[in-house]
Chain A
Amino acid sequence: MAKPSTENTQVDLSVDLAGLKLANPVMTASGTSGYGPEFAEHADISELGAFVTKAVSPEPRKGNPPERTVETKGGMLNAIGLANVGLERFVSEKVSFWKNRSTPVIVNVVGHSVEDFQTVCSRLDDVECIAGLELNVSCPNVADGLEFGTDPNRLKGLVESVRPLVKRAKLIVKLSPNVTDIAETARGAVDGGADVLSIINTVQGMAINVDTWKPMLANRTGGLSGPAIKPIAVCMVQRVYRAVARDANVPIIGMGGICDWRDAVEFFLAGATAIAVGTALFVDPKIPMKICDDLKTYVANRGLTSIREVIGQLK
């Protein structure tokens, strides 16, 4: 890399997510940083571009029995089962932490029916301090057992049905990688009215104990995350960026295996406007802050002044 031609301090890391201004483009990924307070004990939330909470469903959920996680080569499988405190307790106990904070908070929303998503979205859109609602569509619909996120039409229908209820917050749709062509589901989400796309959720996976011949996870299968999925995620971000998002002017939050600045830059080049760190936070919750520092250096070293000049520049 060449000698820096710009001072780090002059580098602009701010980005715009469909009107939501982030001081920097590095966020946490849902389910890997709690509701806020747990994470705040170990890292400074004010240094994040945005914070994404654990999923919230209308009713509290206990989640799956243990074992819920297992390390695999290059990453981990999880089947937490969307354990969460439920909408009412979230509003009464967890929201106050986010009042008067400069860092935007995005709430991950999950449900087993269209009505579930509507209930949570309409209630949380009223909560002033919540900047965005991220729909987690990687879960089965109780009505027919099919995931919302794997069928473009079904996804479009879901997004359309919550769109009118989300008047203030940004509506983010988190896409599942467990599809044949992610551009099709991305198109469904955008046509349904998504403001932003998050790419990707975990990749379906399984690990088997060769001594007991049983699955390692109590839920049998789980979602793969961590460095092992990064090439899949980068590929999907560039596919959606080029096929759908760029022309539709819908920003992408890229995630999947990001551990350091180099990983992050790949996502920006592929077309992400912001990135999120998930599994790597389990190793060190300060990784997002380190990535921010290093992105400044990277941008300066390239002779640029803003991270925005890197977005989508894949040749």
Chain B
Amino acid sequence: MTASQSQTNGAYRTAMVSSHVRLCREHYRLTLQLRDMDHSKPGQFVHISPALLEKEQIGDCRLTTMDYRQPFLRRAFSIADHRQVSDGWECDVLYRVVGTGTRWMEKLGKGDAVSVLGPLGNHFPIDTKKKNAWMVAGGVGLPPMMYLAKSLAKADRDVIGFFGAQSADLLALALDGDDKPDTLAQHAVLADKNFAQSNVAIVVSTDDGSCGFPGHIGSALQAYHQNNPVANDELVVYTCGPEVMMRFVAGFCRERGIDCYVCMERSMACGIGTCQSCVVPIHDQDDEQGWRYQLCCTEGPVFSEKDISWDFPS
């Protein structure tokens, strides 16, 4: 099975902020009211911007003007949840403040309008033949896993979540129960309130050891795997986060013949396949050099680990 084809062409909409919550240092959850965005799948993303084309009253006429606002280009965020509510649909995005765009988002309040393009991109495939699904995320790779966990739970998979961050205060998890993440990463526990609702046990790692396993999440994955062997052909791994981490997880899976899907991140200008910004190198036997570029926005962001040309100097 290869990563799925793009299923849908996102539409441009104006959404309203219905809630905005700080989750931990630099991380927020923004909930957007999107009356008519009635479908999406885990792995897909929304492209958001402050650019609302406003009608300006000029004499008796109304013309569309575009005030210059920063950020100018849209910013991509994985859909962290998408659900039907009484008067339409709601979508969550989880973000970390890193620059101009996310600093603008940080200032948004309830009732503010945001321009949303989406849902965009393909999605994580759910392999019905594999009983075990492990999700491995680092940093802001976590959001798509929140949405994926729900789909996997519905599909009755046995799901484990591996989540890493630099330190405990950068973990966007809800770890307020009695269960604490295992410091040896030998056991997964129902330590996060939200994941526990989907019956997803988790392994946590922090670089500084302030929560869970001390070290990076790849090492935690290795430790857990050693202690909890699962037949490789009954396991599928989904990963999202910094590229070095995904590269490690992909290598881990490749060595063992485990299917692995990675959710890639690239700078995106358009999000719809017109600008060619967001290229990912993919193996291609028909190509002279053995690889070609695919677009992260329309042919991704989810790729099968096997397809990515990891050695390419990207």
Contact = CB atoms under 8 A, between A and B. Distances in A.
Nearest to A295: B63
Nearest to A81: B276
Interface string B274-303: 111111000000000000110000100000
Given A63-B293, A294-B64, A1 B59 contact: yes
Give the interface size bracket for B toward A: 35 or more
A76 B53 contact: no
Contacts of B53: 260, 284, 287, 290
B9 A69 contact: no
Interface stretch (A17-25, A37-45, A159-167): A37-45
Contacts of A210: none
B272 A42 contact: yes
Interface string B55-96: 000111101111010111110000000000000000000000
Nearest to A70: B267
Interface in B25-67: 49, 51, 53, 58-61, 63-66
A68 interface: yes
Interface string A37-56: 01101100000000000100
B23 interface: no
Interface string A273-313: 00000011111111100100110011001000000000000
A261 interface: yes
Interface string B214-247: 0000000000000000000000000000000000
B267 A282 contact: no
B73 A38 contact: no
A38 B293 CA distance: 17
A262 interface: yes
A143 interface: no
A101 interface: no
Contacts of A150: none
A260 B67 CA distance: 9
Given A31-B275, A62-B292, A69-B269, A283 B61 contact: no
B267 A283 contact: no
Contacts of B70: 73
Given A66-B267, A83-B293, A301-B59, A283 B72 contact: yes
B274 A32 contact: yes
Nearest to A3: B60
Interface in B6-31: 9, 12
A38 B12 CA distance: 15
B128 interface: no
In this complex, the member of B9, B63, B100 whose beta carbon has the largest number of chain A beta carbons within 10 angstroms is B63
Nearest to A2: B59
B277 A78 contact: yes
A227 B61 contact: no
B275 to A, nearest CB: 6
A223 interface: no
Contacts of B279: 63, 65-66, 68, 83
A76 B61 contact: no
A33 interface: yes
Interface in A245-271: 259-262
B270 interface: yes
Contacts of B65: 260-262
A227 B72 contact: yes
B266 interface: yes
A69 B61 contact: no
A63 B60 CA distance: 49
Nearest to B277: A69
Nearest to B8: A41
Contacts of B298: 38
A245 B71 CA distance: 36
A31 B276 CA distance: 8
A283 B74 contact: yes
Contact of B68 (A41, A74, A76): A74
B313 interface: yes
A34 interface: yes
Nearest to B63: A294
Contacts of A286: 12
Nearest to B6: A41
Contacts of B312: 65
Contact of B266 (A66, A71, A285): A66
A227 B9 contact: no
Given A3-B60, A62-B293, A282-B274, 13 more contacts: A1-B58, A1-B59, A63-B293, A78-B275, A78-B277, A227-B68, A227-B72, A260-B63, A260-B65, A282-B270, A287-B66, A290-B64, A293-B64
21 contacts: A1-B58, A31-B275, A32-B275, A38-B273, A39-B274, A62-B292, A68-B278, A69-B267, A69-B269, A73-B70, A75-B72, A83-B293, A227-B68, A260-B63, A260-B65, A282-B73, A283-B74, A284-B51, A285-B272, A301-B58, A301-B61
Interface of A: 1-4, 31-34, 38-39, 41-42, 54, 62-63, 65-71, 73-76, 78, 80, 83, 226-227, 259-262, 279-287, 290, 293-294, 297-298, 301
